[in-house]
Structure formats: structure tokens, C-alpha cells
Amino acid sequence: MALSGAMLRVGIFGYGGGPSVIPLFRHEAVIRYKWMTDKEFGELLAFANALPGPIATKLAAQLGYQQKGAMGAVAAILAHILPTTIAMVALLGALYSMKESVIIAGMIAAVRPVIAVLLGITAYEFCAKTWGGLGKVIGVGFGIIAFLLLGLLDVHPAIVIIAFLAYGTVHIKVYNWAKQKWGRKEESMRENSGGMSS
């Protein structure tokens, strides 16, 4: 019941689709029901982004599967898409007749800043988690690389995500190797300086 209710709320309030629903999914999964931690949600989001198809249905399916298995995934997807499907069928004619309305344009314009703030908060929280896992220098560096690849070089997002996932699989090994090498180097320098002083 909680799963269906959560997916219904995300479906109803997820105006704008795509990235705008991510903060709503996070609120339900991490804050309201505590099905997962922020770190686990970030991993789920990265995995879902790497797969083809709409992000909202992928997140709904994965959350449903984690909670109730295959039937939970089906129930979560249906609960998520049901409100918008009914609204589209029922209101399609009305929307077409009012698409030039100043009131509708004002409503859309008023909602956009809310979506921007929600996305900004989510991005900030993910950045804080990234700094904790990768460190500030690597985290900021990866952010700049991602911006250059996506914003300036127009590389397809799937390629960027797969490349970063590939790095993530070896990050711990690289980090531990560098730490051991740096530790041995510092230890060697201490021994040399101790030998010289004696």
C-alpha cells in the first residue's frame, strides 16, 4: 500500500517529467519511507540513467522490485503512470483548447522555479555525497569534465554516464593503490630523514 501511494504521489505531483520527478522519488524513498539511504538512491539513479527509456518509470520499477519483487515493480509502474494517463485521456481536449491561454502560461511559468529549486537541492545533496566518497578535488574535477562533455562537446549523456560508471568500478582500487604508494613514499622519506639526522 505504501509503495502504491508513494508512486501515485510522484505521478500526480511530478509536473514536467524527466529530471523534475527525481526529487519526488528521493523524498518518498529516502525521507518518507526510508527504503534506502541517499548513497543507495544516488547509485540507483546512476544505474537508471545508464539504461534506455524514461527515468521515472525506471526508478518506479526498481523501487517496486526492491520492495516487493517483480509484482512490486509492475504495481509501482502502474501506480506511477495511472494519474497522468487518466489526466491525458480526460483533459486532452481541454488542454488543446486552452494551450494559448494566458492563465495556463502563467501557471506553467510559476511552476518552473519550484522544479529548478528542487533539482538544485538534489544536485547539492548529491555533490555533498560525492565529496564524501571521491573527495572534493576529484568530485569538482568530474563535475567540470561532465559539464564540458555534456554542455560544450555535446557528447551523448549515456556515453558520459557509462564512462563515469566504468571509472567508479575501479575507483576504490585506484584510491587504495595511490594511498599505499603515497604512504610508502612518506614512510621512506621519514626513514631517510631519520637516518640523516642520526
pLDDT reported for residue 116: 84
pLDDT reported for residue 189: 62
Complete DSSP assignment for the chain? -HHHHHHHHHHHH-TT-GGGGHHHHHIIIIIIS-SS-HHHHHHHHHHHHHSSS-HHHHHHHHHHHHHHHHHHHHHHHHHHHHHHHHHHHHHHHHHHHHTT-HHHHHHHHHHHHHHHHHHHHHHHHHHHHHHHHH-HHHHHHHHHHHHIIIIIS---HHHHHHHHHHHHHHHHHHHHHHHHHHHHHHHHHHHHHHHHH-
What pTM, to 2 d.p., does this model score? 0.58
pLDDT in tens for each of the 198 residues of the chain? 789 899 989 888 876 666 778 889 999 999 999 999 988 898 888 888 777 788 888 999 999 999 999 999 999 999 998 888 887 777 777 767 777 788 877 877 888 888 888 888 878 877 877 777 677 888 888 889 999 999 899 998 888 888 888 887 777 777 777 777 776 666 666 666 655 554
